[in-house]
Amino acid sequence: DVKVTQSSRYLVKRTGEKVFLECVQDMDHENMFWYRQDPGLGLRLIYFSYDVKMKEKGDIPEGYSVSREKKERFSLILESASTNQTSMYLCASSLIPFTDTQYFGPGTRLTVL
């Protein structure tokens, strides 16, 4: 059974804190993605990675960075959290980018106070 796991289901942080969201997949997928999901806006791509140490900006990369040191792990970093980054964050992985099934993790609900 394929699996994408995320480090936390719920997270509460304060404005200005550095936040790390971790994602691990066990399917040996090359491609991994970070999205945020907001009501009425759907899923918006923040960053994706098609290989270890490779990353590409998505539609809304501002205020975020990523790290992919190992194939199975993709981290999203909020350098200085702000209230407008309160959202649901979803990690996904796929065999082929953008034309193949994406397998999603359960999501991290981040609240920035």
Helix (H, G, I), strand (E, B), or coil: what is residue 53? coil
**Residues 48-87 vs other proteins: string with x where CB under 8 A?**
----------------------------------------
Is 36 within 8 Å of 87 (Cβ atoms)?
yes
Is 57 within 8 Å of 63 (Cβ atoms)?
no
Among 11, 27, 45, 60, which residue sits at the site for other proteins (rule: CB under 8 A)? 45
**Does residue 41 interact with other proteins by CB under 8 A?**
yes
**Distance of alpha carbon 32 from alpha carbon 49, whole angstroms:** 5
**Does residue 92 interact with other proteins by CB under 8 A?**
yes
> For residues 13 and 109, which CB has a smaller minimum distance to other proteins in the complex?
109
